[in-house]
Structure 1
Amino acid sequence: MYDAYDGLIFDMDGTILDTEPTHRQAWRQVLAQHGMAFDEKALIGLNGSPTWRIAEFIVEQHQSDLDPHRLAAEKTSLFKSILFDVVKPLPLIEVVKAYKGRRPMAVGTGSEHAMAVALLQHLGLRDYFSAIVGADDVKRHKPEPDTFIRCAELIGVPPARCVVFEDADFGLQAARAAGMDAVDVRLL
């Protein structure tokens, strides 16, 4: 189905792993401790962004003087403590399995590199990917193309020969900006 491409790049959260409900749960719990809440639609619009950027948005919305990096660290810590018990692969993982050994594949995620590696190892999926690029591996994040361009470099495939699988508008914009075709997995 994707044989026309020389490299496959996958977003992680919400694309190959069902982590979105846990992200929302962690945000709800951490924000409640600070007497704040979030607009779920606004948060979904920020999918693919690094945690600190989402925290920055929430802090601005509440006109709080809370340090967004501290808030992001609290959320990430809670997220990690509950995620490993509940995370599971999404149906798109079948594409990953079908192309293992046939095409180089990478993960380009807004999550931290170490978190992505830990999750993929936990589920026995780490060896399917030649490269992982996390939010802490690039200076400019989705919707900028840097994450996916770095993935293409690491798997040794020109961007124009790659396809990106994404579930977020920022990620789809990043893929197009990188000169790659993109599959909106929300439409599959």
Structure 2
Amino acid sequence: MTPRALLFDFDGLVCDTERAAHRSWTDIFAAHGHAFPAALWATMVGRVDGERRAAAHLAALVPGLDRAEVLARRRRRKQELCDREPLRPGVRELLAAAAAAGLPAAVVSSAARTWVGPHLERLGIRDDFAFLATGDLTDRHKPLPDLYEIALRDLRCPPGEAVAFEDSVVGVAAAVAAGIRCVAVPNGVGDPAELGAAAVVLTALTEYDLTAAPPAGGAVGELVGADHIVLSAKGAAA
């Protein structure tokens, strides 16, 4: 059964801004003589308070740190890196297939519309989305299900007839909490093994077949192409 709607996370899924965000913090920490901890990054991915967490951690390491200056410098670096990022593999093709099948697509992101919208325009896919459920619409962000519920209401689609695409633990949790089958596509920064709550984990959106049976909601933790996922993760770490 073909789903009635496709719901896409943005950061790290449509465009690999997560890798750029990680690099920007790595550069900032290095400039102050410290490594950017992997454990800290794991608590930040997909959360709107991630920047605050990183700044607080660095301030604890660097007495007298000017947080405002650091945050401004980091935001400039992140923007510079993100503006170079292309679409992730398979995004354009999946959106085209959805349009050909008459299926609406929406972005569901905790980020603000002022962040998501310009990037969609830059990437040439803004018109492929019928709705943007962004973080400025509610103060209840992922891992809570509210943004997904907003998107479903706008698209008039029951949760059981939609498919969500996510790249983070927080995003997968939000989709599952909303009752939506979730396809996880790791972005190479996090650990794919942590995405087991998704119905299925793919190495890229190019592996998703819109005409095939959607992932079963009960198939929690199934890995598709698990060997490739392990190889991809090792390659990213290197």
**TM band (smaller chain):** 0.7 to 0.9
Does the C-alpha gap of structure 1 residues 89 and 162 become closer, same or farther in structure 2, counting only changes over 3 Å? same
Where does structure 2 lack aligned partners over 5 or more consecutive residues?
A: 187-200, 203-238
SS of the aligned residue for 2:116 comes to: helix
Residue 54 (structure 2) aligns with: 58
Residue 153 (structure 1) aligns with: 153
Q: Alpha-carbon deviations, 1:106-153, whole Å to 9, x = none?
A: 011232211111111001110110111222322111111112111212
- Cα distance in 1 between the residues matched to 2:134 and 2:72: 16
Does the C-alpha gap of structure 1 residues 32 and 134 become closer, same or farther in structure 2, counting only changes over 3 Å? farther
SS of the aligned residue for 1:21 comes to: helix
Corresponding letter in the other structure for 1:99? A
1:108·1:151 contact (CA, 8 Å) conserved in 2?
Answer: yes
- Cα distance in 2 between the residues matched to 1:73 and 1:107: 27
Corresponding letter in the other structure for 1:13? D
- Cα distance in 2 between the residues matched to 1:137 and 1:75: 26
Task: Considering Cα pairs closer than 8 Å and 6+ residues apart, tell me whether 1 or 2 has the greater RCO.
Answer: 1
- Cα distance in 2 between the residues matched to 1:110 and 1:180: 17
2:30·2:36 contact (CA, 8 Å) conserved in 1?
Answer: no
> Structure 1 residue 29: deviation in Å?
3.0
2:160·2:181 contact (CA, 8 Å) conserved in 1?
Answer: yes
Residue 95 of structure 1 pairs with residue 91 of structure 2: no
SS of the aligned residue for 1:160 comes to: helix
Residue 165 (structure 1) aligns with: 165
Q: Name the count of aligned residue pairs.
A: 183
1:7·1:162 contact (CA, 8 Å) conserved in 2?
Answer: yes
Does the C-alpha gap of structure 1 residues 81 and 155 become closer, same or farther in structure 2, counting only changes over 3 Å? same
1:172·1:184 contact (CA, 8 Å) conserved in 2?
Answer: yes
> Where do residues 124-135 of structure 1 align in structure 2 (5 Å cutoff)?
124-135=124-135
1:15·1:92 contact (CA, 8 Å) conserved in 2?
Answer: no
Does the C-alpha gap of structure 1 residues 97 and 177 become closer, same or farther in structure 2, counting only changes over 3 Å? same
When Rg is computed on C-alpha atoms for both structures, the one with the higher figure is 2
- Cα distance in 2 between the residues matched to 1:164 and 1:109: 11
Where does structure 1 lack aligned partners over 5 or more consecutive residues?
A: none
- Cα distance in 1 between the residues matched to 2:25 and 2:157: 36
- Cα distance in 1 between the residues matched to 2:181 and 2:32: 41
Q: TM-score, normalised by structure 2?
A: 0.67
Corresponding letter in the other structure for 2:85? V
Pick the aligned partner of 2:12 from 7, 11, 14: 14
> Where do residues 30-179 of structure 1 align in structure 2 (5 Å cutoff)?
30-32=28-30, 37-50=35-48, 53-62=49-58, 64=60, 74-84=73-83, 86-93=84-91, 94-100=93-99, 102-179=102-179
Corresponding letter in the other structure for 1:175? A
SS of the aligned residue for 2:53 comes to: helix
Please give the root-mean-square deviation of Cα atoms over the aligned residues, in Å. Answer: 2.6
Q: Alpha-carbon deviations, 1:14-70, whole Å to 9, x = none?
A: 2121222211122223444566542134314532112xx112322443463879788
SS of the aligned residue for 2:124 comes to: coil
